[in-house]
Amino acid sequence: GEDVEQSLFLSVREGDSSVINCTYTDSSSTYLYWYKQEPGAGLQLLTYIFSNMDMKQDQRLTVLLNKKDKHLSLRIADTQTGDSAIYFCAESPLNDYKLSFGAGTTVTVRA
């Protein structure tokens, strides 16, 4: 599968914005995903973006894609304690539904 890399940890103060970064190596058209995993739970699909888009916004979540640099970010506005979780970036090539995951970023929200 393709390589997907993420920073491992992020600590953010409650009420601030969180930005989680991801890089990928696939140079063809691709779908890019953000999943959230809370302790002891499965994966929750937060959002996804196709590589012909630059940005996607959904309530507190903003995804930015820099296709030239193969860089994806997830911004969480007004971060809450319930946002504490592991966030996984994942990629699948066009016409292939297999997901390649990053290592996950553990986000800790402090009061």
Residues lying near other proteins in the complex (CB under 8 A) are found at 1, 31, 33, 35, 41-45, 48, 50, 88, 90, 92, 97-99, 101-104
Burial 40-49 (b: 16+ CB within 10 A, else e): eeeeeebbbb
CB of 1 to other proteins, least distance (A): 7
Beta carbon of residue 75, minimum distance to other proteins (angstroms, whole number): 21
Nearer to other proteins (CB atom), residue 97 or residue 111? 97
Beta carbon nearer to other proteins, 64 or 103: 103
Question: Looking at beta carbons only, is 64 or 99 nearer to other proteins?
Answer: 99
